[in-house]
Amino acid sequence: MTKIDRKPLGTALEDGILEFEQPLLERMRTFLRIEFLYQQLLYHAKDLTGFSARATIGTLLEILAILSRGDVRNEVLKELERHTGILSDYSRRRNVDLERVKILLNNVEMLRSALAEMTPQFMTSAKECEFLNMIKHRSSIPGGTCMFDLPDYAYWLRLPLKERTKQLNEWTRDIQTICNAVSEVLWLIRQTTEPVEQIATSGMYQHNMNRDEQPLLVRVLVAANVGGFPKISAGKHRFTVHFVTWEGIDARPKQVTENIPFRLALC
């Protein structure tokens, strides 16, 4: 896939800005969870020593569990097809960076082709791996994967790094394509709308969606120095942003009473 400058098409996030997101559809909840876990997996996979190796395996099992529910592959394909249409429309407009649009279209088409070539059994090797299933079963028990519970897991963790890395690459290869596609879809969705300035009166903002609006994701951007954060609750026809103050770990957040400026994007 061609590398591209990931500078947002809309307003770039600068230092001192906190971002919070709320999915409005179930598939978006699934996509965001996959993205979060995949980023976590890639982070820990950089160093498969010590507890990072355990964290990598644990995260891999969580991704496999999500991908086993529903047809994520088909949902991602639909989103890629939708963005193909959006980008094709951009390519026919004036004052558009055609080279950048061309790169984005190429990336989307490559991901679509890769997903289309995947069979419904793309996770079979990882899902049917007795070793991983054994770890998955014991992971439901607090501390259930320690040495005396799973001596074979403890032994695997002590194998040469090269051997463990090779094995992990084989397991993650099954999910890499779909995880990369999810990440690309979410990036494209986030860039469809430029955040606009809003005011949460007495710490609250409510938005009633009209018939023409069909957003997938609510993004709230707020300055870190306001001393609070947003809680977003969403329904089919409206969503509400409540700003609350951080009261420490021993107390519940309190509703903000003053007006809070923030930026909002309905993607």
Q: How sure is the predictor about 159, in pLDDT bands with cuts at 50, 70 and 90? A: very high
Collapsed DSSP state (helix, strand, coil) of residue 221: strand
Same domain for 168 and 221, yes or no, is no
Q: Are residues 137 and 208 in the same domain?
A: no
Is residue 6, in this structure, part of any structural domain at all?
A: no
Q: What are phi and psi of 20, to 5 degrees?
A: -130, 140
Q: Which of 190, 210, 230 is where one domain is finished?
A: 190
**Same domain? 100 vs 174:** yes
60 burial level (CB within 10 Å; 0-12, 13-18, 19+): buried
Domain boundary residue, one of 171, 190, 209: 190
The helix/strand/coil state of 148 is coil
**CATH number of residue 150's parent domain:** 1.10.3900.10
Q: What is the mean pLDDT of residues 117-140?
A: 85
Let me know if residue 21 belongs to a domain.
no
Instruction: Tell me what pLDDT residue 6 has.
Output: 46
For residues 186 and 202, membership in a common domain is answered with: no
Q: What is the CATH number of the domain that holds 245?
A: 2.60.440.10
Is 17 within the bounds of a domain? no
pLDDT at 14: 60
Q: Clarify whether residues 215 and 239 are in a common domain.
A: yes
Please, which pLDDT band fits residue 8 given cuts at 50, 70 and 90?
Answer: very low
Task: For 243-255, write each residue's pLDDT tens digit.
Answer: 999 888 899 999 9
Domain carrying residue 249: 196-266
Residue 10 lies in a domain: no
Give every CB contact of residue 7 below 8 A, 6+ residues apart in sequence: none
